[in-house]
Each structure stands twice: as structure tokens, then as C-alpha cells.
Chain A
Amino acid sequence: MQLKEIFKKFVHIARENPNYLVALLDTNHCVTEASDENVCGEIISQDMDPARNRQFEIKINNQLEGYLWIHIHEQDNVIGMVSKLFYDSLRTRIAHELEQENSLEKLSLEDQLVNELVIKKSADSVYVRDLMNKLKLDDTIPRTAIYVLKNDVFDRQEVTNLKYRISDQNTFYSLINEHTLKIFKPQSKSKTNIDMRRDLMIFVSELVEWGLTNCYYAIGTPQYQVRLYVNSYSSCQWVMKNVVMVKDKPYFFTDHIFGYFCSRLDAGKLDNLFDYYYQKVINMDAEEMVEIAEALFNSNFNINVAANVLYLHRNTLLYKLRGYESLFKINIRGSMQGKIMFFLFSDLLKRTL
């Protein structure tokens, strides 16, 4: 920490009030910085007239770094109050700078941890354990990755300040690049999936309220084992790439598992199996069918909700579904197999459109 740099602001203030002299003394009481440069190098006794002189110890991390000396040329009755204010302000600045240094140091370790866990191809488990120990992170609790993407650049100072907003000591995060923040949030072992989900929704809304706005939030899978955090991260990436997202709202990978499994199917191998059906859709609006299938899937096959999303009347949607049922000879509305068949076929069609 540059104590002299901090002190310059105080020197400037004292120079505007000619009755006051403020100086920074080293541990031998020698003046190193002062509002009156003529006193630099002088040794200032601790036993000077208290009516015109005050000295305060300056400690950083409990170590004496020097003294603050306040002197008034003409005696007044507010030296006690003014010199205490000077001292308090200087101490506050020092405390703030120390805290910033500590945060940056901690964030640097968290950067290393996130890099080791999710960026590198294979994590060094000993190094990961060592970093987690240094950061006092419990490695026995489950965590969920939260991927925060901002089209604008993240303010690095804001990201540092986030340390104070996230009061949970077991959360760690890293600014992977200027657009991407990766957070690993702990979850209570005893909580149900619904409670965990609610906690994450509250967490994201608090981040937005705090100021992390205009961001996309993807929530990965919860993971017990540290070595599997990378999978939570990957599931976030999948959401970012495959889900249509609105800013400042959380999107859970677990809400898109069916879509995820479909995306893992090898379209090349399945393509020919459905040739019979492909022939049937040649003369119809295939894009509309894909949209309808997605809307039904996203609404858990709730006809009313899907119709709203599609800006269709409920009866129009039912009419279209009956048409698909008749065309493909499957029961989309009444059978689970029909629903899966319809969605899988639409998904394959989407990839070949």
C-alpha cells in the first residue's frame, strides 16, 4: 500500500487551511510528507504542546508504520475534533485500501481455482485442494455453476465489490473474460430441489438488484464432487448456446434436459429412419410445426400456455395438432410416446431445415 499516495490528499486539504499543518512521520518520528515541505526531515517530539500538536499512531495489519502529526500555528479550541477527524479519515482510507488488496488477493486465488476447475483440460486435484484450503472453501458441499454473460464489458471494480455482496464464504467466482463471470454457489445438502431452485432464483434477482444488470444468467447442474464442477459449467454453456434467453432472468439447465438429450442424438444416423415422415412434410409449413413442438415442450404440453406463446387461439392450435396426428398417425395429445415422437421428429427437422 502506498501510504504516501493516500496521504497526499490530506496534505492538499491542510494547505487550504493555513492554520493547520499535517505531516506523516516515520517510526522514528521523522517527517516524510507534510503540507509544509519545509518541515520534511525534521524529528517531531511526542512531547510537544498538546494545545497545538497531536500525534496518532498509524498501523497497518497491526504493524506500526508511522505517525500522523497535526499542528496548528495559532491555538484554537477545535484542534481535538479536527485532528481526530483527520485521523479517522486517514484510518478509513487505509482500511479501505487494505480491504481492496485483500479482496484482489482472494479473487486472484479464485481466478486460479476456476481456471483449474473449468478452463484447463484436466484439473490438478492436489492444487485444487490447496487452493480451496487457502480460500477456506468447504469441498464437501454441493455447488451449482452460474454463468453470467454481459454483452457490454464487466466493470472490474464492480466485480471486486461483488465480494461484499456475496456474503456466503463458500461462494467463489472469477471473471473468465471481460464479458463472462463464472460463479460457483454452494447449496445446502438438506434442501430439496425446489428449495435449491428458489435460492438460486433469489440469488440471481439479488445480483440484478445490486447492479449486475443487462446480463444473461444460465444455471448449471448441481454437483457434489469438485471434479464434476466442470460439468456444471458445461451445462451452463449449453443453455447459453441453445436456449432463447431474456436478460436478467435465470435459465436452469434442468428445465431443458429433454432438449439437451435430443441435441445429443446423432441426426446423421437417425435421419434416414424418418424419411417416410420427411416426405409427408414436404408440402407443409415445417417451421411452424417446429415452433409448435417447442412451445408445447416448453409449456409442458399445456395447450393454453403454448397457444398464448404462439399467439394462436387454443382451438387453432388444437386444429393444427389434429392435423399432425392424422398426418403422422401418432397420438400427440393423449400419449406420452406420441409426445416424444412428435418432439424428436420436430427437433430433427429443425436441424435439417
Chain B
Amino acid sequence: MGKIVLARIDDRLIHGQVMTAWTQYTNANEIIVVDAKVASDKFLTDIITSAVPDKMKALVLKPEDVVTHISQETNEKNNYLLLAKGPKAFVEVIQHGIQLESIDIGGMGQKGDRKQLYRNIAANQEERTYFKKLLEKGVNVYIQVVPANKKIGLTNEMLG
């Protein structure tokens, strides 16, 4: 069934930084974008996954489908990189039976009703509530934009 080498929150999902740094750094060979809305639109899914070269696998799944997909994989050498736009998707992934030990916050820009969390990482009230749920479940949530950055652990104090 392979292993999840990184679960990352990133507004931009698959972009240059993810492809040029994180996939290599983690040795991921399959990218799973966890997004219920995009997963139900084949055209958008195709465009998003076209950013990934053919030698890597990329797909977009609803949170509830991640566990089925990973558990059905027979190749134990599969290294999954999970990407989501926010913490809600990962809370749902966990609720459906996937054990996530840690989650990296890589990109949550200042937009809409989001307020600063740490430097250029921001979250709105709903996202903060989901982050608290992740912390309650014992998930190590940290901020790390690129591999060279030090991991900054997310705490309840930071969430307010």
C-alpha cells in the first residue's frame, strides 16, 4: 500500500515549488490532490494533473476516496504526496481512516477573511477550527514552505 511521505496544505496545489523541491525531497512518486470539488470535474482534474510529468502519477480524489485508493495499491514502494487547499480536507481524510502523523502548511496566502497565522501563512476562523481538530487528534502540524526552511510547529496559542 505504500506510504504517505508528505501531507501538505497549499493553496496552489501542484506548482513549481511542489514539483521541483518537495517531490524530490520526499521521493514521492504519486501526487494525490485531495479536493472534492475538483475531483468531480474531469476537465479541471486533467489540467491540474498535467503539471506532473508522465513518469509520475497524479490524481485528484475526494477525501473519502483516498483510503480506498491507497489501501488498494499493491506496490509497497509507492510514496504518496497528499496535497490539499486547506485543513478541512485532511480532517476528512483522517475521519475516513487514513493515519496522518504530520501535516505541512506550505502555502495559505492572505486572502478573503484570513488573518495572519505566521509570517505569510494565514487562516480564517473555520480553517483555525479544523487545525484545532487536527491538533486534538495528535497530528503534528507544522509550517514549512520549502525543505530548506525550519519546521515551525503549529500550536493552539497561534490559532487564538
Contact = CB atoms under 8 A, between A and B. Distances in A.
A158 to B, nearest CB: 7
A145 B43 CA distance: 50
A160 B79 CA distance: 16
B53 to A, nearest CB: 6
Contacts of B97: none
A351 interface: no
Contact of B25 (A9, A13, A96, A165): A165
A71 to B, nearest CB: 15
Given A95-B19, A96-B16, A167-B147, A158 B51 contact: no
Contacts of B23: 161
Interface residues of B, number: 29
B24 A85 contact: no
A211 B76 CA distance: 12
B36 interface: no
Nearest to A93: B51
Contacts of A167: 25, 147-148
Interface in A57-114: 82, 85-86, 88-93, 95-97, 99
A275 interface: no
Interface string B45-76: 01110111111000000000000000000000
Interface in B1-48: 12, 14-16, 18-21, 23-27, 42-44, 46-48
B21 A89 contact: no
Interface string A155-180: 00110111111010000000000000
A121 B107 CA distance: 50
Contacts, number: 77
Contacts of A13: 43, 46-47, 50
B20 A82 contact: no
Given A95-B19, A96-B16, A89 B51 contact: yes
A136 to B, nearest CB: 15
B50 A158 contact: no
A165 B50 contact: no
Nearest to A163: B24
Contacts of A165: 24-25, 27
A9 B24 CA distance: 22
B27 A99 contact: no
A183 to B, nearest CB: 16
Interface string A289-324: 000000000000000000000000000000000000
Range, interface on chain A: 20 to 34
A88 B52 CA distance: 11
A259 B148 CA distance: 40
Nearest to B15: A92
B158 to A, nearest CB: 26
B27 A89 contact: no
B47 A82 contact: yes
Interface in B65-94: 77, 79
Contact of B55 (A85, A89, A157, A210): A157
Contact of A85 (B20, B21, B44): B44
A16 interface: yes
Which of B26, B46, B54, B79: most chain A CB closer than 10 A? B46
A89 B48 contact: yes
A192 interface: no
Contacts of A97: 53
A140 interface: no
A164 B24 contact: yes
B44 A82 contact: yes
Nearest to A81: B44
Contacts of B27: 158, 161, 165, 210-211
19 contacts: A9-B54, A10-B47, A13-B50, A82-B43, A82-B44, A85-B48, A88-B12, A88-B15, A92-B18, A93-B19, A93-B53, A96-B16, A162-B24, A163-B24, A164-B20, A164-B25, A165-B27, A210-B27, A211-B79
Given A99-B19, A167-B148, 15 more contacts: A16-B42, A86-B47, A88-B15, A89-B47, A89-B48, A92-B18, A93-B52, A93-B53, A95-B19, A96-B19, A157-B55, A163-B24, A165-B25, A211-B27, A211-B79
Interface of A: 9-10, 13, 16-17, 82, 85-86, 88-93, 95-97, 99, 157-158, 160-165, 167, 210-211
